[in-house]
Amino acid sequence: MTIPFSNPDRPNSYIGKTVPRPNAAKLVQGRGRYVDDIVLPRMLHVAFSRSPVAHAKIGEIDLDEAKAVKGVLRVFTGKDLTEVCTPWVAVLAHLKGLKSPPEHALAVDRACWVGEPVVAVVATTRAAAEEAASVVMVDYEDLPVVTETMTALDKDTPVIHPELGDNLAFRRLHEEGDVDAAFESAHKVVSASFRTARHTGVTLEPRSILVDWNPAEGQMTAYHATQAPHMMQTVLAKHLDIPESRVRVICGDVGGSYGIKVHVYPDEVATAAIAKVMGRPVKFIADRLESYTTDIHARDHEIEARIAVDADGKILAMDVDDWTGIGPYSVYPRTSAIEGNQVVNLCGGPYDFANYRAQTTVVFQNKTPTCQYRAVGHPIAVAITEGLVDMAAAAIGMDPVEIRRRNMYADDAYPVTSPAKMKFEGLSHHASMDKLIEMMDYDSLRADQAEARKQGKYRGIGIASFIELTNPSPFMYGIGGARISAQDGCTVRMDPDGSVVALSGVTEQGQGTEAMLSQVVAEGVGVKPSNVRVITGDTQVTPYGGGTWASRGAGIGGEAALQAARALRDSILEVAAAMLQAEASKLDIRDGQVVDADTGEERMPLEELGRIVYFRGDTLPKDLPRELVQTRHFITMEYPFAFTNGVQASYLEVDTDTGVVTLLKHWCVEDCGRVINPQLVDEQIRGGIVQGLGGALYEEIHYDEDGQLLNGSMADYLVPMAAEMPDMQVAHVETPTKESELGAKGAGEAGTAGAPAAVMNAINDALRPLGAQVTEMPFTPERILRALGKIDD
Amino acid sequence: MKASAGGYARAESVGHALDLLAGSDGQGRVLAGGQSLIAAMNMRLSVGDLLVDISKISELSGVIVSGGTLRIGALTRHAQVGASQVVRTHAPLLTDAVSHIAHAAIRNRGTMGGALAHADPAAEFPACALALGATMHSEGPEGARAIPAEDFFEEVFTTALKEDEILTSMTLPVAEEGEVQILEEVARRSGDYALVGLCLVKRASGHRVSLFSVGPKPILATVAMAALDAGDLEAAVDAVSSEIDPPSDTQASAAYRRHLAGVLLRRAVARLKGDTA
């Protein structure tokens, strides 16, 4: 029996409806339980003495003064920890040529970025540990520093890791069709340089871990703010020489992740290693400065790109040369080559064209390591693609909406393979664009823009179509050798009172995973969502799974939950049929009642069935299965990724005297397949848009030429805030994936993917009459005035 | 990070606070609203301070008008300044300024005296004090002093206050009939420190222009003021750009700030004309 999703009046119709988040009241009442809320007996705190310089040989380390601080129990150097913790090398087999040196939990011999942990101080309080860390004396002998991406491979640039031969971490060239010929014969060629600023995720809750090693049990328990508990289980087991089965990772409430908490951080592994050495629970909570210097950074790309179009605006070719600097190490275990790789995979994504060349060059430098952050590579690829498409439209005098309509894959063209060799199962670019244009009332907006211009106001409209990669298969990491699960499982059980417990391998980061799971299970079994309790984030309790990343929670975890719930429903009905002497196929479960499927007549509440099964099982037939616990796993098989699509628009005003951009309104239409919870999806889209707007207008990590981080505080690193955010209107087109019964694809990154390009195009639309153009993010007031030629140095 | 204070004492009166400061061997720090000091301590930019908490000294708080002079106690919170009808009537520039200062939680705790004594070159109140020709009043072991705003702000985070003195209030002449007070600033986000800010006061005696976030301290742009008095806006714009020596930082370059100073002056003057028309 399949679920008739098209009928909103079907019984138990929770999928597709906004249901309350089961954890919302807890979180807003301050009753959440984050890692820092957990206090264990005999618990200690660790603080780190971090490298104050970007590249240096580590000489003498004087710990006398630190050890003398009251409350300090022990101090560890890199060498101390090498005895209990092996280093890691973040490469993957399918990213050919990717290289990276071994990285230790604490720097050994050499520090390679400002903020790299060098010495760990363990004390009875965080204050004492910090006090002691501040008096650790390390003799740093300066080594040459590499900060520039574009010159990292030059002959006269020092090589950060001499054993690797050069500063090249990874390079991939993809070529399809005859790009050079297409450019030579094209009606119009437009070129541009783009830059996306290095930024970071800025989670409300900083990185947090509390590790408890129990030598009597030979078991390590890590309470960890993480997106991927099972991945961390493997990592801790492998590098601390503990059987995987003896590492338990528990992930309670998490205050935002955005990709920041899916990576392996040396200070967190050091915390686990220290807990094992000391046999006491050790807690590490990053403070905000540590977050800025050690949370992964992302998006630090410089790009030269061009597009060729014919006289009708048809795209003939795209050519992209992308460079990114990733810091001194590829980040374990997902690697830092993925972002550049994604740029190659995603440029030109919405468009049906033949000739495509893209190369990414990933280099080492002495800055904080970069890695995957919400919408990995997407904002960059969308900015390049949509920036070029708008410039091409302007060059041939075509409306930006029209040029897109002439190039987007037809909605009936699927399945199709893009020139980047991405396989699309089913997208809806045209339907989404139509919906967007209607929703924003494009023609009226153009009229408003023209009217405003008469009054000397420079308003602009920016459009950005995009594709988003979701529901990854093992093609993302598994085939490269990483023990990162692409499948996910869910166990659903009915307890004696008729309530349901669901245990899932995907995790709750504050985005509402548990609400999504509760309604899927509620519909699948036939109970109210409030009667489903969801448990996530415990490797010893939940089925094995990948966790939350790459927009997979609903599409993968949701389908596993649905199948497990349907299986439990069947088990319940089998018992009910025996009890009621009816045919199981003639029964249904609705709102916690076994009912007659045809008439809806109530036959028995689930709690009565529970009473019999659990307490009077003697009254049931001997050979009747009464398995009120069911587990199912799900993995995608037909497509490496479930691509989604969408289109965003921005309307804004540029103050051409100050350079300040005021966002007037933002629209997004996206297609994530089946929408399970409209409110949660809209919140994901809005939150994602806000992060994209941050990248477009505010967020930029600054380093000086010595590799010193210049803006490691909330006062100096500007995140988007409510007062500047525009009203956002969100709508959906639904093209469910056929890979699952649920049909859900991911929605978590779509907002971030498209927003920066929409803003860039809107600013350039506003500035075009003045002959100015900006392509370097963030679009600060100063960059805009410089583009307008209004600043005299 | 965890702060590392050297000690804490709550002062019962101004005299008590002065005694505590005198006994602190130069380590004493006056704690009022704590919106800058506590943040600095929490980043370990300031360590070992002996905090002298003056926040319960009620005589330091409040707004009074008498004989053409407006007196605002040093402990008056930003939010109280912003909500005061007396301030709105007699020094509307300060009311305007409050709406640009940080966010509600900070305005509820931060004090006007704290902002003045902290002397952040990007803060609004010091520049307002300059434009309004205010006088700072302090108490110390040697007695009370009255320091004109123009002599009060010396350098980044440095004022004419001695280590053992406490700022007690600010006085300023109440706005005369027809006086116009205008504040213009540009910040990256609402509540952020200004990239550049400008105060313009027009009185019968002439124009007063002060700028903030343009150098190590807020400045009175006297050449620009004279040009405005002479009715020459272009000269005033040129002057304001050359009278400042702004820094370059991660938010904006000196060149951008110079440009912005001119833009803000034009906007303030345009508002002035709008108001008087």
pTM, whole model, 2 decimals?
0.97
Any chain B CB within 8 A of the CB of A710?
yes
| 3-class secondary-structure state, position A756 | helix
CB contact under 8 A, B2 and A723: no
Any chain B CB within 8 A of the CB of A70?
no
CB contact under 8 A, A781 and B195: yes
Give domain A24-32+487-634's CATH number out of 3.30.56.10, 3.50.50.60, 3.40.50.300, 3.30.365.10: 3.30.365.10
Angle CA B210–B216–B219, to nearest 5: 15
Out of A131, A780, A791, the one facing B255 most closely (by C-beta) is A791
Per residue in B98-133, pLDDT (tens digit) is 999 999 999 999 999 999 999 999 999 999 999 999
- pLDDT class for B277, splitting at 50, 70, 90? very low
The two domains A35-143+206-254+260-294 and A369-471+638-785 share their CATH topology (first three levels equal): no
pLDDT at A793: 83
What is the interface size between A and B, counted as CB pairs within 8 Å?
63
C-alpha closest to that of A491 among A361, A628, A672: A628
Contacts of A502 (CB under 8 A, 6+ apart): A490, A491, A492, A517, A518, A521, A532, A533, A534, A535, A561, A564, A565
CA distances from B250 to A91, A472, A710, B188, B247 (A): 34, 38, 8, 12, 10
Closest approach of chain B CAs to the CA of A245, in angstroms?
35
Number of other CB atoms surrounding residue B142 within 10 Å: 10
Closest approach of chain B CAs to the CA of A498, in angstroms?
47
Mean local confidence (pLDDT), A350-357: 98
Task: Yes or no: say if B52 and B28 are a contact pair by the CB < 8 Å rule.
Answer: yes
Contacts of A94 (CB under 8 A, 6+ apart): A475, A479, A480
Chain B segment 4-23 residues within 8 A of A by beta carbon are 4
CB contact under 8 A, A127 and B195: no
CB contact under 8 A, A718 and B192: yes
Closest approach of chain B CAs to the CA of A599, in angstroms?
59
Q: Give the DSSP letter of residue B192.
A: S
Any chain B CB within 8 A of the CB of A130?
yes
Give domain A35-143+206-254+260-294's CATH number out of 3.30.479.30, 3.40.50.1980, 3.90.1170.50, 3.40.50.2300: 3.90.1170.50
Mean local confidence (pLDDT), A54-81: 98
DSSP state string for A558-601 = HHHHHHHHHHHHHHHHHHHHHHHTS-GGGEEEETTEEEETTT--
pLDDT over 90 at B261, yes or no? yes
DSSP state string for B165-177 = -EEEEEEEEPPPT
- pLDDT class for A792, splitting at 50, 70, 90? confident
Out of B193, B252, B263, the one facing A782 most closely (by C-beta) is B252
Any chain B CB within 8 A of the CB of A704?
no
pLDDT over 50 at B276, yes or no? no
Lookup result for tokens 């790299």 = A116
pLDDT over 50 at A485, yes or no? yes
CB contact under 8 A, A781 and B189: no
Nearest chain B residue to A697 by CA distance is: B188
Any chain B CB within 8 A of the CB of A39?
no
Mean local confidence (pLDDT), A8-32: 93
Task: Yes or no: say if A767 and A460 are a contact pair by the CB < 8 Å rule.
Answer: yes
Domain-wise residue ranges, chain A: 24-32+487-634, 35-143+206-254+260-294, 369-471+638-785
Task: Yes or no: say if A348 and A386 are a contact pair by the CB < 8 Å rule.
Answer: no
Domains of chain B: 7-53 (3.30.43.10), 58-173 (3.30.465.10), 180-276 (3.30.390.50)
B193 chain-A contacts, CB cut-off 8 A: 715
CA distances from B97 to A553, B102, B112, B129, B244 (A): 47, 10, 11, 11, 21
Closest approach of chain A CAs to the CA of B158, in angstroms?
21
Mean local confidence (pLDDT), A370-398: 98
Any chain B CB within 8 A of the CB of A359?
no
Mean local confidence (pLDDT), A65-92: 98
State both tokens at A131. 């006090």
Lookup result for tokens 């003939």 = A316
Out of B2, B189, B259, the one facing A718 most closely (by C-beta) is B189
pLDDT at A518: 97
Per residue in B225-240, pLDDT (tens digit) is 999 999 999 999 999 9
Statement: A369-471+638-785 belongs to CATH 3.30.365.10: yes
Any chain A CB within 8 A of the CB of B241?
no
Enumerate the H helices of A288-354 as residue ranges. 288-294, 338-346
Mean local confidence (pLDDT), A364-379: 98
- pLDDT class for A1, splitting at 50, 70, 90? low
Per residue in A204-242, pLDDT (tens digit) is 999 999 999 999 999 999 999 999 999 999 999 999 999
State both tokens at B22. 């005198």
Any chain B CB within 8 A of the CB of A458?
no
Measured CA to CA, the distance from residue A170 to residue A366 in angstroms comes to 16
Q: What is the largest CA-CA distance in chain A?
A: 91
Out of B186, B189, B255, the one facing A724 most closely (by C-beta) is B189
Per residue in A617-663, pLDDT (tens digit) is 999 999 999 999 999 999 999 999 999 999 999 999 999 999 999 99
Task: Yes or no: say if A731 and A435 are a contact pair by the CB < 8 Å rule.
Answer: yes
Pairing of strands A629-634, A602-605: unpaired
Average pLDDT, chain B: 96
CB contact under 8 A, B43 and A660: no
| A627 burial type by CB count under 10 A (0-12 exposed, 13-18 middle, 19+ buried) | middle
B190 chain-A contacts, CB cut-off 8 A: 721, 723-724
pLDDT at A20: 86
